Chains A and B, each alone.
Chain A
Amino acid sequence: MTVTTAPAVQVQGVRRQFAGSRRSGGRVALDGFDLTVAEGEFLCLLGPSGCGKSTLLDLLAGFSEPDGGAVLVGGEPVSGPGPDRGVLFQTPMLFPWLTALDNVLYGPRARGALDDETRERARELLHTVGLGDAVDAYPHELSGGMRHRVAFARVLVNRPRLLLMDEPFGALDAITRVALQRFLLELWQRDRTTIVFVTHDVEEAVLLGDRVCVMSGSPGRTRAVIDVDLPRPRSIDDTETLPFVQLKRRVRQALEKEHA
């Protein structure tokens, strides 16, 4: 492992504005926004819709550029999207014309980095996410949860140093959602990849994150950063313990305060 002194993510005084009609003069999604994420940390961004959390994730992914301030990943300014930052969307966004394996191999193939070792690793990853039998299945043949797990494998094959997740489980039914949360916890426990996870679900944020950054809009600002000092490894059962419930209340109060 390389030793990096810089934090995994540094967001400094970022401003991001969207062009609007002449009368409204555009909407400021983020203004003077600061955020630091340590290497190997699981950070949850929590806030109501329209608070700029997805905008922030877009900046980190390199899909858009800040109008002011700096966005650094691994100490270097972000310029355009790249495979070092794996992005998981609200829907899996698999390529429907490719099999599960070819979806996973899309990144290496697009970069001209496809070799036998990568092929082998892609199969291994699909097996790790529980899809060893569905390597040759097309996305439409898979269930919603299975598609999400292919999307994970597709990102992980690039060995990203940062995972960006934009409400990835928001559109799933409760059962699949819990299964995928458990899966993500196990995955993070194993790899300790830095994760920035956007959600509007208080319980999900507390269950998954090392820290929960409560945001308010608009423009998006950090209202509170709450450390989640619950022991790891965590499981879904922890959601019924007293410390968990207390933390959940603290986060919810921080979230509600700004709306009062």
Chain B
Amino acid sequence: MSVDQRVEPLVSSLPLEPAAVVRTVRRRSRDWSRVGYGLLGLLLAALLWEVVSLVKDDPVILPSVQATLRTAYDTLTQPYPAVQGRTLLGHALVSGLRIVAGWGAGVVVGVALGGAMASVKPLRHVLDPLIELTRPLPPLAFIPLFIVWFGIGETSKFLLIVVGVTPIMVIATVSALDAVPAELVKAGRSLGASPLHALVTVRLRAALPGIVTGMRLAMGGAWTSIVAVELIAASSGLGYLINNAGVNLQTSLVLSGILAISVLGLLLDGLLRLLQRATDPASR
């Protein structure tokens, strides 16, 4: 570059660290060895499962790994229950949509409330005790109440997730906004940003990684809620499938449902991880 030849660095005497390159490469190789160890752990767990199932030799107590995988594979195409049922994918889709809808609404409400609380002091004093009171409550405690109020339809499921997600998001948003140093916003302002521009591009932007972390935490809670409510009052969804299969002693199907939850959970968390990496360079 022509620029490099024209301008003499002022600090020629200061040795530059060989920048980020070396560190990134080292981290890559460490990542790969971690993946290897992780796979080893999974294999050992599957092996233990297989050995126990062979020793017990009772598919109701514990079907073998292959039997479980075969059931999962078959249920991908065969509806369960056979009459008026859905495939494994169908149930997963129902649960997934319930999660995304309730969690999405909870995130929007939580971030909006949290943002308002972080900027308007009186509002914060009013809402703080309310949030602190609802936070330790397991959302599951609301199941009977919501069924009485809204029946066993989608509304009660949706609200149950919202109730679980919102306080987590409020707390994550407030603390993320509080943690933004005032001087960071001042820096933006003194570089020429208008108050609004600094609010959006500095304060909110700086809080984003913390908010995304809250989103990941809330997602975990949302899964607990939805599976629990589907166990009790539903005619579709992975929770329903697990419960129904359990009642009918179809253990391999129960395990298939559990596997499906963990795959779906990993998938959604993976998407959020991507979002986290996109918002926070330090987490890459």
Chain A: residues with CB nearer than 8 A to chain B?
Answer: 61-63, 80-83, 85-87, 89, 91, 93, 95-97, 106-108, 110-111, 120, 123-124, 127-134, 137-138, 140-141, 143, 145-146, 149, 154-155, 158, 179, 182-183, 186-187, 190
Chain A residues lying within 8 Å of B10, measured Cβ to Cβ, are 128-130, 183, 186-187, 190
A154: chain B residues within 8 A (beta carbon): 191
A143-B191 contact in complex given A95-B206, A96-B281, A130-B9, C-beta closer than 8 Å:
no
List the 6 closest pairs (A to B, CB-CB), nearest first.
Answer: A107-B191, A130-B11, A83-B192, A110-B193, A141-B20, A138-B281
Residues of chain B lying within 8 A (CB to CB) of residue A107: 191-193
Q: How far is the CB of A28 from chain B (nearest CB, A)?
A: 22
Given A82-B192, A143-B17 in contact, is the A149-B201 Cβ separation under 8 Å?
Answer: no
Q: How far is the CA of A129 from the CA of B202 in the complex (A)?
A: 24
Q: Which residues of B contact A (CB under 8 A)?
A: 1, 3-4, 6-14, 16-17, 19-20, 23, 181, 183-184, 186-194, 197-198, 201-202, 205-206, 208-209, 279-282
- Which residue in chain A gives the minimum CB-CB distance to B10? A186
Total of A-B residue pairs, C-beta within 8 Å: 125
> Told that A179-B11, A179-B13 touch, could you supply 20 new A-B pairs with CB distance under 8 A?
A61-B190, A63-B186, A63-B189, A83-B192, A85-B190, A89-B186, A89-B187, A93-B184, A95-B202, A97-B281, A106-B193, A110-B194, A110-B198, A111-B193, A127-B9, A129-B10, A133-B16, A141-B20, A141-B23, A182-B11
Once the chains are docked, how many angstroms separate the CA of A110 from the CA of B8? 29
Residues of chain B within 8 A (CB-CB) of A63 are: 186, 189-190
Bound complex: CA of A142 vs CA of B279, how far in Å? 18
**CB < 8 Å neighbour of B14 from A85, A87, A120, A145:** A145
Taking a contact as CB atoms under 8 Å apart, the answer to whether A179 and B192 are in contact is: no
Beta-carbon contact of A132 and B279 below 8 Å: no
Q: Please, which residues of chain B bring their CB within 8 A of the CB of A61?
A: 186, 190
Min Cβ gap B201→A in Å is 7
Q: Give the residue name and chain of the A residue nearest to B191 (CB).
A: A107
A216 to B38: give the CA distance in the assembly, Å. Answer: 61
Are the CB atoms of B191 and A128 closer together than 8 Å? no
Chain A positions within 8 Å of B3 at CB level: 120, 123-124, 127
CB-nearest residue of chain B relative to A134?
Answer: B19
B205 nearest CB neighbor, chain A only? A97
B197 in contact with A110 (CB, 8 Å):
yes
Whether the pair A129, B191 counts as a contact (CB closer than 8 A) is no
Residues of the A chain whose Cβ atoms lie less than 8 Å from the Cβ of B281 = 96-97, 138, 140
Closest A residue to B184 by beta carbon equals A93
- Whether the Cβ atoms of B183 and A155 lie closer than 8 Å is no
A63 to B208: give the CA distance in the assembly, Å. Answer: 25
